[in-house]
Amino acid sequence: MAQVGRISGPMLDEDLLRNGSNLSFKNNLIDTPLLYFDTINRRIGVNTSTPVSDLEVVGGLRFTDYTTNNAQSFGNLTIENGNISVVSGNLTIGTVSGQVVLPSLLTDDYLFNDNRITSLNSDSNVELIPNGTGEIDLLGSVTVHEHMHVTGSMHVSGNVDVSGDVLRLGDQATDTIDFNTEFDQNILVGKNDAYSLGSFSYTWKNLFSASYQTDDVLFNNNIIESTTVEDVIGEAVPGTSTVPSAPNFFSKPSHEFK
């Protein structure tokens, strides 16, 4: 018949009163206590005979449910009122698969929810800053619903399709634009008789065109003709009857046909 351990005899008073004597449960005399009652300091130890807290467990501890009304500390980790914090250093969350899945993430400045990053500070910027010579790669289609400001250079290797108006290219008179391509469409002015091509200070060197037409005169190859019925091409310069040559006509805006 197997032996059965008992707690009996004069070692216990009624109601398990110890009267200042500790109580240890272990298999052999030299074993570490499986359960230890430190009655003097009012502590309980599991797999230890020197508990330093109200309950100290050496080894694993598993709960089916755990409820507490006070802050709980686990080494450098503190859990209180739904918050998890560390006393010092960083809080590292890791899993066996290396992935941490969160429905959303809230910081002091940003909200990460689904595929959206929202700034919580009024009128603040959201900055994506690569390290060193790194780049920010946006794969797939990118839609900008508001304004986009580029301080440095912008390189586009594909096509650029602008559905609205291009209000301004450059912000200073010394800015230049270089079209290293051919135009496959008309270049139309948005307002009649309002804008100039070139100026007195900066004139175009050459104009190559199959024909050129003003409101009243048509230049086509070597023929100059009036586009107004029964109109006569008069003097190019008041007081003379000489029609200016083509280079002078295009480079001297003061000459008018009447």
What percent of the chain is modeled with pLDDT above 90? 15
Residue 171 domain flag:
no
For 47-105, write each residue's pLDDT tens digit: 999 999 899 999 988 888 888 788 888 888 888 888 888 888 888 887 877 788 888 99
Residue 224 domain flag:
yes
111 DSSP β-pair partners: 106, 118
Q: Which residue, of 71, 88, 105, is where some domain finishes?
A: 88
Residue 109 domain flag:
no
Total domains in the chain come to 2
Residue 232 domain flag:
yes
Q: Are 222 and 213 in contact (CB under 8 A)?
A: no
User: Both tokens of residue 42?
Assistant: 């009012």
- What is the value of pTM for the model shown? 0.45
Q: How far apart are CA 3 and CA 116, in angstroms?
A: 67
Least Cα distance to 218 among 199, 231, 200 occurs for 231
Output the pLDDT for position 176: 86
Q: How far apart are CA 81 and CA 233, in angstroms?
A: 94
117 DSSP β-pair partners: 112
For 101-156, write each residue's pLDDT tens digit: 888 999 999 999 988 899 999 988 888 899 999 988 888 888 888 888 888 888 88
Q: Which residue, of 34, 64, 88, is where some domain finishes?
A: 88
Residue 175 domain flag:
no
Least Cα distance to 39 among 80, 11, 58 occurs for 11
Residue 56 domain flag:
yes
Residue 111 domain flag:
no
Q: Which residue, of 88, 118, 146, is where some domain finishes?
A: 88
Residue 120 domain flag:
no
Which amino acid appears at position 86 of this protein?
Answer: V
- Residues of the domain holding 32: 12-88
| Structure-token match 């990053």, residue found | 117
